[in-house]
């Protein structure tokens, strides 16, 4: 199979769809891998490393898109990139197509593209193995980002996250005790913050309570969320409902009762956002202020630790990628329900694609 690895063109996206070791494995199994010139530089991989692994370097986006039977991207394709795909081919990666513009979906349909969203791949136990490591990274980064945003020079309240003797630490509220929430709580506790975790799942709260001594746990409902937000210096919101838009759990009215210049981090923004006032931001301009509250709503948080994130992603995605390229796209989808669960379009026919509010790309 001809496999294309393009350079990511989305702003501040430094990750790449395949590492040199993966190219070597694919080449050894008889596949031809075309890598766009400079595709791996953001993650620290040179063209020479890819060539040594058996890949073929091409020098234009049109060539890597045009040669590929399947394109392995990291981030969702831009509109122009979708136009470069040959009709009837496939694209796979962390696509998040549910939050893309309708004209991009129309292109996938009209060109009969098969699109496989690795973030939607789901095992029988309900886990999402490819999404999990990136959620882990996002959760762990949340604490160090929040610590910086609390500084005066970043527009924050001038609070040291962990406090010191005689000065209490920051009050941190984590809404959602999934993978992001667990790792966010772990990092905030490690930095000395006082942490409260809310979730609707009692088992998840019991895990938090048993794992992290000193953490406060509460069942999540509008009353407990509103009260917790009102006393928080930092609120991290990470709520995921598989296949659909993230529900709004923090309303504008709740924000109005928060302390001025507190931080709210909407980690659910790549699924539409779980805060009523959220809108996508970028690593260049990561925050905005609404109702006196500093909002951080960057959809691709792990992209700034691109090497770690690329390796973590591909360690999880590799078994599925190998099955797809070795069996062929159609047979892999038929044989493996986990891969089938990630199919957003199949020869242009929509599957597992719940539409939500689009972002700005």
Catalytically annotated residues: 96, 270
- Nearest CA to 82 out of 96, 57, 98, 103 is that of 103
Residue 126 to residue 123: CA distance in whole angstroms: 5
- Nearest CA to 357 out of 241, 245, 249 is that of 245
Write out the two tokens for 196.
Answer: 């409260």
The answer to whether residues 266 and 273 touch, using CB atoms and an 8 Å cutoff, is yes
H runs (alpha helix) in 150-261: 179-190, 202-211, 222-231, 252-256
- Looking at residue 123, the DSSP 8-state letter turns out to be -
Give every strand in the sheet of 2-5, ordered side by side.
56-58, 32-36, 2-5, 70-75, 90-94, 114-117, 343-346, 349-350
- Nearest CA to 344 out of 139, 76, 141 is that of 76
Residue 255 to residue 274: CA distance in whole angstroms: 13
């Amino acid at each position: 199979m001809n496999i294309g690895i393009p350079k990511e063109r989305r702003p501040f996206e430094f990750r790449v769809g395949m590492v040199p070791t993966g190219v070597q494995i694919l080449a050894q199994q008889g596949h031809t891998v075309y890598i766009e010139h400079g595709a791996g530089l953001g993650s620290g991989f040179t063209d020479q490393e890819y060539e040594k692994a058996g890949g073929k370097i091409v020098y234009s986006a049109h060539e890597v898109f045009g040669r590929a039977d399947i394109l392995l991207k990291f981030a969702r394709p831009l509109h122009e990139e979708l136009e470069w795909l040959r009709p009837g081919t496939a694209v796979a990666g962390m696509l998040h197509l549910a939050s893309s513009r309708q004209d991009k979906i129309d292109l996938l349909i009209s060109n009969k593209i098969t699109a496989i969203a690795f973030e939607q791949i789901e095992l029988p136990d309900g886990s999402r193995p490819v999404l999990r490591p990136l959620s882990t990274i996002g959760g762990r980064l949340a604490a160090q980002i929040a610590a910086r945003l609390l500084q005066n020079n970043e527009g924050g309240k001038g609070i040291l996250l962990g406090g010191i003797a005689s000065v209490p630490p920051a009050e941190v509220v984590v809404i959602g005790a999934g993978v992001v929430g667990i790792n966010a709580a772990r990092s905030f506790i490690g930095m000395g913050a006082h942490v409260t975790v809310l979730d609707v799942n009692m088992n998840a709260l019991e895990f938090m309570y048993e794992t992290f001594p000193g953490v406060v746990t509460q069942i999540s409902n509008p009353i407990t969320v509103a009260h917790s937000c009102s006393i928080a210096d930092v609120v991290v919101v990470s709520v995921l409902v598989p296949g659909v838009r993230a529900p709004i759990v923090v309303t504008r009215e709740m924000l109005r009762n928060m302390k001025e210049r507190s931080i709210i981090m909407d980690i659910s923004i790549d699924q539409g956002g779980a805060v009523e006032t959220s809108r996508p931001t970028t690593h260049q301009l990561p925050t905005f202020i609404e109702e006196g509250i500093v909002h951080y709503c960057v959809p691709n948080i792990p992209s700034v630790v691109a090497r770690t994130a690329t390796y973590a992603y591909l360690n999880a995605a590799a078994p599925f990628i190998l099955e797809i390229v070795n069996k062929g796209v159609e047979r892999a989808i038929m044989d493996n329900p986990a891969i089938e669960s990630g199919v957003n379009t199949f020869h242009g026919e929509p599957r597992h694609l719940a539409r939500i509010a689009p972002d700005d790309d």
